[in-house]
Amino acid sequence: MKKVLMMHGPSHNMFGHRDKNLYGTVTYEEINRKMEETAKELGLELEIFQSNHEGDFIDKVQEAFFQKVDAVIANPGGWTNSSIAVKDALDILTCPRVEVHMSNVFKKHNGTAQAETAKTATGVIIGFGAEAYCLALQAVAAILKD
């Protein structure tokens, strides 16, 4: 069974409680539950990780590299546009990497968002709300099948 690591960034544990106009009312727990169901249907083993701390997030990326996970899905959240350290860490991965965002990150910051972490991803799924996470799993399953 192929192993996929889902990495949630800062404040994602607060989905359903913050910025409901932007992220909706679905909770972090509901997103993860739906991802686990989808992963099972796709025959994937899923590990879910969330951190509000940049260093812990980077440590987990490096751990994934050494454990040779088959794919990584990442939503770096607030680090997407601003953290070269997170981008550099994600760049070491040799497995497929799909970046996912619930909202269209290019609509934020007056359209000046750069999505630094997405520039070297295998693919990016944005703007589909909580469904973006399951779409990312489907994309990973298709990539790993080839």
- Is residue 23 annotated as a catalytic residue, yes or no? yes
Q: Which of 8, 12, 23, 28 is catalytic?
A: 23
- List of residues 6+ apart from 93 with CB closer than 8 A: 61, 64, 65, 72
- Which of 3-41 are b and which e, b meaning 16 or more Cβ less than 10 Å from the residue's Cβ? bbbbbbbbbbbebbeeeeeebeebebeebbebbeebbee
Write out the H or E segment, with its range, that includes residue 131.
helix 131-145
Consult the annotation and say whether 103 binds a ligand: yes
- Is residue 133 annotated as a catalytic residue, yes or no? no
Segment 24-47 shows an average pLDDT of: 96
State pLDDT tens for residues 93-126: 999 999 999 988 877 665 556 788 898 899 999 9
Domains contained in the chain, CATH given = 2-145 (3.40.50.9100)
Q: In this model, does residue 30 exceed pLDDT 90?
A: yes
Q: What is the distance of C-alpha 135 from the center of its chain?
A: 11
State pLDDT tens for residues 38-86: 999 999 999 999 999 999 999 999 999 999 999 999 999 989 888 999 9
Task: Give the CA-trace dihedral at 112, 28, 10, 8, to 10 degrees.
Answer: -80
**How many DSSP H helices and E strands does the chain contain?**
5, 5
Does residue 12 or residue 115 have the better pLDDT? 12
The Cα-based distances of 32 to 51, 61, 144 in angstroms read: 14, 19, 21
Count the Cβ atoms, other than its own, within 10 Å of residue 85.
13
**Full-model pTM:** 0.93
